[in-house]
Structures are given as C-alpha cells and as structure tokens.
Amino acid sequence: MTLLTLDPAAIGDEAIRSRISQYQEERDRLKGHTNSHGEQGIELLAVHAGEPRLPTTFVDYEIDPREYHLSTIQTILNTHTRVTDLYSNEIDQLREQIRLTVDAVKEREEWELLNNSQFGLLNEVSGRQRIPTRSGPPTPDDLDELLTLVWKKPAFFVAHPRAIAAFGREATRRGVPPVVVHLFGAPFITWRGVPLVPSDKLPIETDPVTGAQTTSILLLRVGEGEQGVVGLQKSGVTGEIEPGLSVRYMGTNDHSIASHLVTRYFSAAVLVEDAIARLDNVLLGNYHDYA
C-alpha cells in the first residue's frame, strides 16, 4: 500500500490547487466515458429508426507498454569421453545425461514461471483477482468463486498435489466427488469441466504458532487468441533440440572431459487482468471421519 501525504501549508499553494482543479475537471470529463478498468470507452450507437449522427471513437492503448525480458537457465554438462565411448552399447550415456539435465532445467523453469518476482504467475495476479477461501479448506464453493473471476474460457486450475487432495476430500464429503478425465495419458480430476493440474512448485506456508499449512490455487485462461496467459521463448537458436531449449558442444579439454552448454530461454505474460485468478489461504490439513 502506498500512502501519499501533503503538508497542510502546501494546500494553499496556487500551483498545487491548480493541479488539483485540473485533475478534478479531467475526472469529471471522463466520468461516464470509461469502462470498469478505467480505459477510454468505445462510443457506440444502436440505431432502430431515422438517420442520427454516428459517434466517433478510438480504442484506448497503453502508451508505455510493459517490456518482457526472456529469463535464462543455463548449465554446463561435463561427461568423460571414456564413459560415453565404452558404456554406450546398451544406453547412450551422453543422450541420457543430457535428458536428465534437461529435466532438471524444466523443473527449475516450472518453479520460475510460478514464483519469479518479475514474471511469476503467483505475483502477476491483480488485487481484484485474488480471493481467500471461505473457511480454510478448498471447497467446491471456493473453486466456483474462482470461476466467476475467469469465466471466459477457463483452461485449467494449477494447484499443489496436497491442495488437490484437500479439494477432493471436501468435494467427496459433500457428495460431489470430482470427475476424472485423461489428458496427455494421465488422469486429472476436474471441477465444472475444468481440470486441476498438479504442480509441487506452488509454495506451502506454515503458521509458526498453529503449525497449519496453507497454499494457493491458480485458475488460468491460456493462449494469445483468447487474450490469456502465454509462454514466451526464443526459437531458432544454435543447437536447438526444442523451441527455446538448446544443447551446444563446447569442446573436450586435456582431461578428456567433453562439455555441453545447456540453455533455456523463457518467460510468461498475462495479456489481460482477468486471464488469471488466485485463491489464497488454502488449508491443507483438514480431514474427515467417514465412518
């Protein structure tokens, strides 16, 4: 929260009073001509009869738009040529070590996409798109409230596996166990037809007094065409093995150690405010006796 203060003696300053008057006049002029987001409204006229004069209008735009810089994850993979030469008959040693390194890079990328202070999705949710749980545990009512915030083509929830389990307990207790669907060869539970995608990169906070553990649940709309959340990457780089991910051979030193540079360029952007919503204070440790 930002607090602006003004010295009482400065209120009588003519320049300050003039600026305040200009601001009030501008606010009054725009009142009734802006939408709920404070943007210039688009003037329209619905004509049923006659030939009235049509309004003129323009679409508001951001004069100084935000610029996103791609984040980078890099490491140098060292492999002894003796290992790759002698032990690659059954398993390609170099390929497997690159695969494991790439898996670690993607795990770190997932964490950054959720938690990074500059572009992480948890930090990109505006205040009006954040709500707390009604009573602590994640209930069907809580997820319904999230759906009212991202009601235009919601794609999926993102939640910690323990939060998904907590939601399953609450839904089962109410007699509405979540429907299971199969996506990408794996089962996902859904709510209102929207899948809950697990990610253990969502942080869990522990209350130092009570020991209660809480986390957050996200709801996303995705895709540029849907004005949702989009991933950013640099494709076409040297040694690319998939878009934005490259492996480059750096040479072999005098100890027979071969080096490969593994690089990932990535970021994420929320195109419009209502493309993402966040449910906070999700209590994880609530259990029920069904006996």
pLDDT (tens digit per residue) in 99-132: 999 999 999 999 999 999 999 999 999 999 999 9
Longest dimension (CA), the chain: 88
Of the two residues 90 and 267, the one the predictor is more confident about is: 267
Q: Is 172 helix (H, G, I), strand (E, B) or coil?
A: helix
Would you state the pLDDT for residue 121?
97
> Hey, which residues does 73 pair with through a beta bridge?
264
Cβ within 8 Å of residue 261, ≥6 positions away: 74, 75, 76, 77, 239, 246, 247, 248, 250
Q: How far apart are CA 226 and CA 211, in angstroms?
A: 41
Confidence check: pLDDT of 181 > 80: yes
Q: How far apart are CA 83 and CA 65, in angstroms?
A: 51
Give the pLDDT band (50/70/90) at residue 56.
confident
For the chain, give the number of residues: 291
Residues 278, 283, 284, 289, Cα dihedral to 10°: -130
Of the two residues 290 and 36, the one the predictor is more confident about is: 290
In 3D, which of 248, 247, 258, 249 has the Cα closest to residue 80? 258
Which conformational region is residue 108 in: left (phi greater than 0), alpha (psi within -120 to 50 degrees), or beta? alpha
Q: How far apart are CA 212 and CA 240, in angstroms?
A: 45
Whole-model pTM above 0.85? Answer: no
Q: How far apart are CA 231 and CA 132, in angstroms?
A: 27
Would you state the pLDDT for residue 2?
63
Would you state the pLDDT for residue 55?
81
Classify each residue of 6-43 as buried b or exposed e, where b means 16 or more C-beta atoms within 10 Å of its C-beta. eeeeeeeeeeeeeeeeeeeeeeeeeeeeeeeeeeeeee
Give the pLDDT band (50/70/90) at residue 232.
very high
Q: Which amino acid is at 73?
A: I
Give the pLDDT band (50/70/90) at residue 35.
low
Would you state the pLDDT for residue 39?
65
> Hey, which residues does 229 pair with through a beta bridge?
222, 270
Q: What are phi and psi of 121, to 5 degrees?
A: -65, -30
Question: Can you tell me the mean pLDDT for 67-79?
Answer: 95
- The rounded percent of the chain whose pLDDT value lies above 90 is 71
In 3D, which of 282, 283, 2, 276 has the Cα closest to residue 128? 276
